[in-house]
């Protein structure tokens, strides 16, 4: 990954531009954490970047940043800039392209995110990022209150990094969050969800939850019952969401909603019960079971022992039922299937055509 990135930097210099890897990748590289994507900062303007990487650019015009895909790695390339006059506590209304790296670093959020790497792989550390990483501390670049008032997403980012990296927040950041947390309300629900989701997805999510509660950000985020969340050591953010009451404006995907709903349902059921396991599956029941301290090994065993795992495993087709009863298609078929399914699941009826046919004739003919 690094080799590909350094090659990309050399591509810039061969066109007489300056370019550096910046931010998350360098931070995580020093910490020995694998990155998903790489941010590059350069004095080349978006148009010029697109000219160099014509074939590998994604079509997006996201505040003068260009996305390039090289060897399957995603590079977010941004031109050196100064940002001014923030609107709605989120976006700068004035972006000015500049020629130097240093002022570009000053606009960034945290000192640990200002580290750069040049095309030789050498770390460039103007603001003391390496020391902060050593000290495991998150400090803003410049005045914290100003940084958070300019862009309140940075508040959630601070908590996200403190959670994921298990770093401490500087006293100044803590103070500033208390003073500016109200601006978090103005962020879009999409943004809020993305950040909170990253906190909930971290194995260290308990720390993030404690921090959100400590600053009263649960209220600003319109999230209720955060203090009561159990099973904080579990592997899915959905387990956390399923225990919360959140503003309906949060844009959950249909699949997420369904999953959350299923976990909530499974919480009310006996997770060793065949019908519960059959209806909601192993994963959802394991999530619910873990929260209730049910032995997950037992849940897995019970699931493996289910006679059928889906309706199409029932050993009779609707056509066969219709022939058996000399009837056409109709709602009664579903009723019979529900009944037969239940009998099979609870092992009162073997899953064989003859037994099922006999049962249907006895009860429905
Ligand atoms: P990760 O990619 O692991 O989420 P990151 O630090 O790389 O972490 P990105 O969102 O990819 O975060 O942003 C890249 C860099 O851009 C950051 O390291 C930081 O320097 C800067 N940055 C991102 N968002 C902001 C912001 N809201 N305010 C100021 N600087 C920011
Ligand atoms: Mg990044």
Kindly tell me the sign of the dihedral angle through the C-alpha atoms of 91, 92, 96, 101: negative
> What percent of the chain has a predicted confidence (pLDDT) above 70?
98
The residue-averaged pLDDT of 301-317 equals: 96
Give yes or no for residue 235 having a pLDDT over 80.
no
Averaged confidence pLDDT in the chain:
94
The confidence score (pLDDT) of residue 236 equals 79
The pLDDT score that the predictor gives to residue 359 is 97
Q: Please tell me the distance from the alpha carbon of residue 83 to that of residue 86, in angstroms, as a whole number.
A: 8
Alpha carbons 115 and 107: distance in angstroms, whole number: 13
Domains and CATH numbers, the chain: 1-132 (3.30.460.10), 136-223 (1.10.110.30), 255-304 (no CATH), 312-364 (1.10.246.80)
User: Are 144 and 81 within 8 A, CB to CB?
Assistant: no
Q: Comparing C-alpha atoms, which of 222, 216, 272, 267 is closest to residue 245? A: 222
The pLDDT of residue 229 is 87
At residue 85 the predicted structure's pLDDT band, cuts being 50, 70 and 90, is confident
CA-nearest residue, atom 27 of ligand 1: 154
Q: What is the rounded CA–CA span in Å between residue 56 and residue 67? A: 8
Cα-to-centroid distance, 24 and ligand 1 (Å): 7
Task: Give the integer Cα–Cα distance in Å for 240 and 234.
Answer: 9
Q: Are 116 and 108 in contact (CB under 8 A)?
A: no
Q: What is the mean pLDDT of residues 4-13?
A: 96
User: Which two structure tokens, joined as six digits, stand for 286?
Assistant: 């394991």
On the question of pLDDT at 102 being above 90, the answer is yes
pLDDT tens-digit readout, 116-136: 999 999 999 999 999 999 999
Task: With cut-offs at 50, 70 and 90, classify the pLDDT of residue 232.
Answer: low
Coil, helix or strand for 248?
coil
Convert the pLDDT of each residue in 15-71 to its tens digit.
999 999 999 999 999 999 999 899 999 999 999 999 998 877 877 766 678 999 989
Residue 347 makes CB contacts below 8 A (sequence gap 6+) with 307
Question: Average of pLDDT values for 276-286?
Answer: 96
Of residues 3, 161, 8, 157, the one with CA closest to residue 75: 8
Nearest Cα to Cα of residue 262 among 246, 247, 241: 241
Q: How far apart, in whole angstroms, are the C-alpha atoms of residue 48 and residue 104?
A: 18
> How many CB atoms sit inside 10 A of residue 128's CB?
16
Ligand 1 centre to CA of 307 (Å) is 51
At 100, the pLDDT band (50, 70, 90 cuts) reads: very high
pLDDT at residue 61, rounded to an integer: 64
Q: Which ligand has the nearest atom to the CA of 153?
A: 1
Pick from 20, 24, 153, 165 the residue to mutate for probing ligand 1's pocket: most ligand atoms within 8 Å of its CB.
24
Q: 292: CA distance to ligand 1 center in Å?
A: 38
Q: Supply φ then ψ for residue 91, to 5 degrees.
A: -115, 140
What is the Å distance from ligand 1's center to 344 Cα? Answer: 55
Give the tens place of pLDDT for each residue, 179-198.
999 999 999 999 999 999 99
pLDDT of res. 62: 64
Q: What are the pocket residues of ligand 1 if the criterion is a CB atom closer than 6 Å to any ligand atom?
A: 23-24, 39, 108-109, 113, 151, 153-154
Q: Is 110 exposed, middle or buried (0-12, 13-18, 19+ CB in 10 A)?
A: buried
Specify the residue for token string 């989120």.
90
Torsion of CA 33, 80, 187, 234, to 10 degrees: 0
What CA–CA distances, in Å, run from 53 to 4, 13, 17, 65, 242?
14, 13, 13, 13, 44
Model pLDDT, residue 364: 94
pTM of the shown model? 0.88
Residue 57 bridge partners (DSSP): 68
End-to-end CA distance of the chain: 68
Q: Which two tokens stand for residue 344?
A: 């099979």
Q: Specify whether the CB–CB gap between 20 and 101 falls below 8 A.
A: yes
Give mean pLDDT, residues 244-261: 93
The two three-digit tokens of residue 353, written as one number: 């055509």
Query: Under DSSP, is residue 71 helix (H, G, I), strand (E, B) or coil?
Result: coil
């Amino acid at each position: 990954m690094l080799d590909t990135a350094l090659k990309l930097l050399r591509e810039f210099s061969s066109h007489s531009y300056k370019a550096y890897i910046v931010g998350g990748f360098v931070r995580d590289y020093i910490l020995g954490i694998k990155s998903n994507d790489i941010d590059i900062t350069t004095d080349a303007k978006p148009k010029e970047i697109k000219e160099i990487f014509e074939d590998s650019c994604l079509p997006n015009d996201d505040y003068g940043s260009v996305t390039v895909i090289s060897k399957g790695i995603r590079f977010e390339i941004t031109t050196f800039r100064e940002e001014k006059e923030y609107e709605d506590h989120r976006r700068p209304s004035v972006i000015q392209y500049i020629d130097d790296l240093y002022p570009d670093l000053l606009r960034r959020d945290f000192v640990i995110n200002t580290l750069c790497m040049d095309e030789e792989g050498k770390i460039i550390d103007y603001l003391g990022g390496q020391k902060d990483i050593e000290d495991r501390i998150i400090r803003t670049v410049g005045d914290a209150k100003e940084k958070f008032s300019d862009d309140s997403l940075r508040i959630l980012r601070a908590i996200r990094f403190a959670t994921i990296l298990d770093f401490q927040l500087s006293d100044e950041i803590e103070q500033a969050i208390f003073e500016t947390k109200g601006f978090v309300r103005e962020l879009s629900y999409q943004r809020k969800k993305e950040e909170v989701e990253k906190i909930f997805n971290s194995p260290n999510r308990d720390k993030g939850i404690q921090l959100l509660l400590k600053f009263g950000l649960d209220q600003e985020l319109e999230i209720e019952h955060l203090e009561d969340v159990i099973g904080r050591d579990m592997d899915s953010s959905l387990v956390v969401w399923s225990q919360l009451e959140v503003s309906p404006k949060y844009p959950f995907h249909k699949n997420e909603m369904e999953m959350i709903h299923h976990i909530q349902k499974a919480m009310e059921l006996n997770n060793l019960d065949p019908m519960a396991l059959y209806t909601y599956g192993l994963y959802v029941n394991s999530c619910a079971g873990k929260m209730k301290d049910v032995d997950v090994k037992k849940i897995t065993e019970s699931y493996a022992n289910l006679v059928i795992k889906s309706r199409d495993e029932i050993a009779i087709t609707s056509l066969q039922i219709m022939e058996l009863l000399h009837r056409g298609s109709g709602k009664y078929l579903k009723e019979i299937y529900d009944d037969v399914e239940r009998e099979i699941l609870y092992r009162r009826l073997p899953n064989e055509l003859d037994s099922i046919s006999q049962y249907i004739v006895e009860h429905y003919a």
